[in-house]
Structure 1
């Protein structure tokens, strides 16, 4: 939220492992599935809307190809009692079981439902993506991410190209999403309707508020008032110490004390207060998800 160039999109790229952090490292389970909606997307031309959306199901499509191959082999054979034919039956049963677990029997209906939720009409499904604007292509990319059942969704300005009906649909979808969702957005109402945590990036530090955006603003203002008061009090103490240093420097007998005060002043951790237009990333981490997953 707000300040441009503060590093919100960069933070998402680091979390998605698309970028390496300058220092430190990102620790995450190797099995963790992360979906990232970027501002810039690459599209392979020549696919229909449905064909592009089906790219979300790489594993399912691979299983379909394997099942078709095994079924073809079975259809060409007549040695039904042989060990080889029996193995083909075992293989097709295993493949069908995997296919069922991955949602293979439902993915086409799910795809159409999500595309329609994001504003596409049924007559759009067979049209080439080449004929759609960048904003509509972004909707297809968003649909693919929503279909993948990722553990974590990283969404960079997801409502930029959506109309009000699609935004309302997306809000409902994300509120019921079983994974974690991290959102960078300038849409305050969307953030309030979807998120339950707000992460503030301020002066190189990250602050975690367990509240949606509007409630975060209230908490942040309270904290900022406290910080300003503490900063003012600290500055007063620093000025008093500096006056003592100048006073003691003028006397040879007080030189040691002056040096002691200078060292003390150097060790003070100066209180910094960011200006009002802080950068904010909002999150939705459902309680059903185990922390640290």
Structure 2
């Protein structure tokens, strides 16, 4: 279906990938693993064509279609959930329109023996086959099935997408991709905004998906259930395991143990050769022997073992003043989106030192309440009071809502810093794995994980005594 030959990519002065080769077949469900910064999201972008400046070739077979779940949403304001989801069929609708035109020409032309007439018949057959392949005459049923599976209710279908959070809009984007039935589907953290019920539904959907899938996910159970093949990115290469994630862990452990033993033996052999070279190179009778050892040593292909991912974030919050005993106090707090009342007459208070988990089904207003308390959402009923000396730190559910897409990583961090912490911005970014040229990336090109790391870094640059996540 798709072949990759000699793939290479420079990043920050070094190779991210070098001479990578693999083939993706139609039945493949591939889990992509690797430590932070290994290039998982980058590889997906290369396969999708979003990144084109690389060495080697990505060769699709025939006219295969490739779908990619992007993190950046581009919805037209004012569309309903249903209408936005139906945008998935833009190509199918174009094929239907073309088929109507072809049928019209066939019905009105009389040059039955001409080449042009035969070309129209061939195109009609081709379009009919394509529409049949995409089950183009049962689109509405498919849309309903997928939206319900991803957690929407029937009454949500006619609501404007503007009313939904970024996480719910990402579900719409995922629904559109699933409905397109591409030959190859590229998924970068598809479960990030899903509840357990929706994850189980998506898991079953992908297991039965007729095309190939390349998947990046931190949900290892999900990846084990869906994938039958695992690509491990390490040492600028890709190790290909014909196994799901759980089996890959076993095989990778065995492989690493064998590789470590082989390297240990090789290191001992190299040391012995170097000792002999140093011993004999000054001897007139042994000089030629020493030279032969040097040539042999130069030809040895050194065994390299990629360091295990032991990277840890150095999280130390800035000291802040002690707040008063009461942090928040809410009275008759309410929030509605249009005609939908999310919650109403909510009363509570939060005291210093409490650690509170906010539970509830999807759509019940957990994120909305957090945004109100963080000062992000201003439109609500009732009132709430911020306690004495309370400084709030806020970690958003969807970082794209709070990060400026046109600012770099460094600019976002510097904007969050105080005079005291500004000299340490680059060091702190480095501890969150933003090193070298990575600080010059625009936030709009960051992966979901990178955005979360940047958001955490920003929290450490300013003192606060109350954290909302």
The TM-score bracket by the shorter chain reads 0.7 to 0.9
Q: Which residue of 1 aligns with 2:43?
A: 11
Whole-angstrom distance in 1 between the partners of 2:289 and 2:58: 47
Higher mean Cα deviation, 188-197 or 42-51? Answer: 42-51
Whole-angstrom distance in 2 between the partners of 1:220 and 1:169: 29
TM-score w.r.t. the length of structure 2 is 0.52
- Displacement, 1:26? 0.7
Q: Of 103, 106, 110, which aligns to 2:138? A: 106
- Displacement, 1:63? 5.4
Whole-angstrom distance in 1 between the partners of 2:152 and 2:128: 32
Q: Which residue of 2 aligns with 1:201?
A: 233
- Displacement, 1:40? 2.6
Asked if 1:136 corresponds to 2:184, the answer is no
Q: Which residue of 2 aligns with 1:267?
A: 299
Q: Report if aligned partners of 2:34, 2:233 keep a CA contact under 8 Å in 1.
A: no
Q: Report if aligned partners of 1:245, 1:258 keep a CA contact under 8 Å in 2.
A: yes
- Displacement, 1:183? 0.3
| Residues 1-293 of structure 1 mapped to structure 2, 5 A cutoff | 1=33, 3-20=35-52, 22-62=54-94, 84=108, 101=132, 102-277=134-309
Q: Any stretches of 5+ residues in structure 2 without a counterpart?
A: 1-32, 112-119, 311-469
Compared CA separation, residues 187 and 248, structure 1 to 2 (3 A): same
Higher mean Cα deviation, 27-36 or 100-109? Answer: 100-109
Higher mean Cα deviation, 205-214 or 238-247? Answer: 205-214
Q: Which has the higher strand share?
A: 2
Q: Give the secondary-structure state (helix, strand or coil) at the position aligned to 1:252.
A: coil
- Displacement, 1:277? 2.7
Q: Report if aligned partners of 1:197, 1:209 keep a CA contact under 8 Å in 2.
A: yes
TM-score w.r.t. the length of structure 1 is 0.81
Compared CA separation, residues 111 and 86, structure 1 to 2 (3 A): farther
Number of corresponding residues? 264
- Displacement, 1:2? 5.2
Compared CA separation, residues 263 and 195, structure 1 to 2 (3 A): same
Q: Any stretches of 5+ residues in structure 1 without a counterpart?
A: 74-82, 279-293
Q: Which has the higher helix share?
A: 1
Q: Which residue of 2 aligns with 1:291?
A: none
Q: Give the secondary-structure state (helix, strand or coil) at the position aligned to 1:25.
A: strand
Which structure has more relative contact order (CA 8 Å, sep 6+)? It is: 1
Q: Which residue of 1 aligns with 2:464?
A: none
Q: Report if aligned partners of 1:99, 1:105 keep a CA contact under 8 Å in 2.
A: no
